[in-house]
Amino acid sequence: MNTELSKEIIGIKAINLLFFNYTNDMLEEMKTIREFNHCWENYVNLEEQTYMQIWELYLTKISYKGQISLLEIALKYFGEEATEGFEYAIKVDGFLQAHIAKHTSKNK
């Protein structure tokens, strides 16, 4: 398994968890990033689903450095959960592949 890709997947999972599950404290920490704060104050409509708005802003309005800063916050709060989820998915895939191999060999 490509370790670099594994790290990227864990990072994506962590940022997704942050954007979906942020608390007021996490939001205040995200707002310490000037670009994010500007986007939050000027583009986010709290009457709509903020999760999708934050993702759109992350992908279109926040610089690479701002994205890295948000990723660091995400890994701080959700890195362990994202890693455990990724490791569990690998185990499940292994079980599934073994199950498929077992049934494939029975049919031959």
Which residues of the chain carry a pLDDT beneath 50?
A: none
- pLDDT tens figures, 66-97: 999 999 999 999 999 999 988 888 889 888 88
Given this model, what pLDDT does residue 2 score?
A: 61
3 state SS for 20-83: HHCCHHHHHHHCCCHHHHHHHHHHCCCCCCHHHHHHHHHHHCCCHHHHHHHHHHHHHHHHHHHH
SS3 content of the chain, % helix, strand, coil (to 5): 85, 0, 15
Domain encompassing residue 48: 3-106
Contact 43, 61 (CB under 8 A): yes
Given this model, what pLDDT does residue 102 score?
A: 85
- The residues, any chain, with a CB within 8 Å of residue 47's CB and separated by 6 or more, are none
User: What is the number of domains present in the chain?
Assistant: 1
The model carries a pTM of 0.80
